[in-house]
Chain A
């Protein structure tokens, strides 16, 4: 089963809503049965920017978003794409005001010992960017 962004958001919101309760129950069952719940990196990135948004009802600060993403990475029921790179990405995301997407590109580049082809200033600041 693959999880969508809204499901992940509900899980992180706690059990204040009925949807939140349903999602958490599902995760609890998956923990017990070992059914893998797959989370794609694209979904994690979207979770981060929705949580940044005050207009969407969140507006969490970077540090807390970092903790939330780490909880997703550490969730025993989840099967994550690029878990190691994401963990590193969260570290740099917390430390500076750079998009998590850029942090992930930079982290994957580091893991693979390569660079990121980009015109983005932020990637240069992260030490991985290189202009074509």
Chain B
């Protein structure tokens, strides 16, 4: 991990060491160190830069190539320790995760080398997220139609024919991958054809039986 940061991205040795230590502290493998915690915002900046460079490399983009306007701040999972892991897929064009998340960064300190390409990998606690903003302009045509530039579609994993959620936020329009109940697939068809009243009665009885054991 430290070598990956120093040799792969030119991160200073001391910075790499402290990033690793921060990870170990958050992970509970090292005793709490308030200095490291104070340094976290600064360390996170280096980490974010590494993630962005890494993302470009993985996507086969030259370092200098636009459009890579900006990346938003780096966030650390709010669910540290509670929901310490999240599934992402390596080798995919983009993770269809939360709104606008390109890759819940594989920076996933420490687990980078586990799991081969194409398999899902568990992200550990210090899951860092680089949200990339790829910008471009387009014009709105008759009937409100708009062409989403290819670079934008590719960066966000939208394909021709996909359904999108169109959301208005103040004076912005946000397009998202739909992930609601219509996209949910049940594990198997329902095995009974009970009325709702009967369904409820059965479920309640089963629950009571379970609770009393």
Question: Are A31 and B165 interface neighbours, CB within 8 A?
Answer: yes
The residue in B83, B186, B191 that gathers the most chain A C-beta atoms within 10 A of its C-beta is B186
Q: How far is the CA of A54 from the CA of B207 in the complex (A)?
A: 10
Report the nearest B residue to A68, measured CB to CB.
B184
Partner of A55, one of B79, B183, B184, B202: B202
User: In this assembly, does B178 line the interface, its C-beta being within 8 Å of a C-beta of chain A?
Assistant: yes
User: In this assembly, does B196 line the interface, its C-beta being within 8 Å of a C-beta of chain A?
Assistant: yes
User: In this assembly, does A16 line the interface, its C-beta being within 8 Å of a C-beta of chain B?
Assistant: yes
User: In this assembly, does B212 line the interface, its C-beta being within 8 Å of a C-beta of chain A?
Assistant: no
Q: Which residues of B contact A55 (CB under 8 A)?
A: 192, 202-203, 205-206
Known A-B contacts A56-B199, A58-B190; the reply to A71 vs B181 at CB < 8 A is: yes
Question: Are B193 and A57 interface neighbours, CB within 8 A?
Answer: yes
Question: Are B182 and A27 interface neighbours, CB within 8 A?
Answer: yes
Chain B residues 154-213 with CB under 8 Å of chain A are 165, 167, 176, 178-187, 189-194, 196, 199-200, 202-207
User: In this assembly, does B82 line the interface, its C-beta being within 8 Å of a C-beta of chain A?
Assistant: yes
Q: How far is the CA of A50 from the CA of B180 in the complex (A)?
A: 20
Q: Which residues of A contact B185 (CB under 8 A)?
A: 14
Question: Are A71 and B79 interface neighbours, CB within 8 A?
Answer: no
Known A-B contacts A12-B186, A91-B82; the reply to A75 vs B200 at CB < 8 A is: no
Question: Are A12 and B207 interface neighbours, CB within 8 A?
Answer: no
Question: Are B187 and A60 interface neighbours, CB within 8 A?
Answer: yes
User: In this assembly, does A131 line the interface, its C-beta being within 8 Å of a C-beta of chain B?
Assistant: no
Question: Are A76 and B165 interface neighbours, CB within 8 A?
Answer: yes
A residues with a Cβ closer than 8 A to B are: 5-6, 8-9, 11-14, 16-17, 24, 27-28, 31, 46, 49-50, 52-61, 64, 67-68, 71-72, 74-78, 88, 91-92
Report the nearest A residue to B198, measured CB to CB.
A56
Report the nearest A residue to B196, measured CB to CB.
A6
Q: How far is the CA of A12 from the CA of B183 in the complex (A)?
A: 9
Question: Are B202 and A13 interface neighbours, CB within 8 A?
Answer: no
Partner of A71, one of B179, B196, B206: B179
Question: Are B207 and A49 interface neighbours, CB within 8 A?
Answer: yes
Question: Are B189 and A16 interface neighbours, CB within 8 A?
Answer: yes
Q: Report the minimal beta-carbon distance from A40 to chain B, rounded to whole angstroms.
A: 16
Question: Are B207 and A75 interface neighbours, CB within 8 A?
Answer: no
Report the nearest A residue to B99, measured CB to CB.
A74
Question: Are A13 and B191 interface neighbours, CB within 8 A?
Answer: no
Q: Which residues of B contact A17 (CB under 8 A)?
A: 190
Q: Which residues of B contact A68 (CB under 8 A)?
A: 181, 184, 186
Q: Report the minimal beta-carbon distance from B23 to chain A, rounded to whole angstroms.
A: 21
9 nearest A-B pairs in the assembled complex, by CB-CB distance: A75-B180, A57-B192, A71-B184, A53-B203, A55-B202, A50-B203, A56-B203, A57-B190, A6-B196
Q: Given A53-B207, A54-B191, A57-B199, list of 19 further CB < 8 A pairs?
A: A8-B181, A12-B184, A13-B186, A13-B189, A27-B180, A28-B182, A31-B165, A50-B203, A55-B205, A56-B199, A57-B190, A57-B192, A71-B179, A71-B181, A71-B184, A74-B179, A76-B165, A78-B180, A78-B181
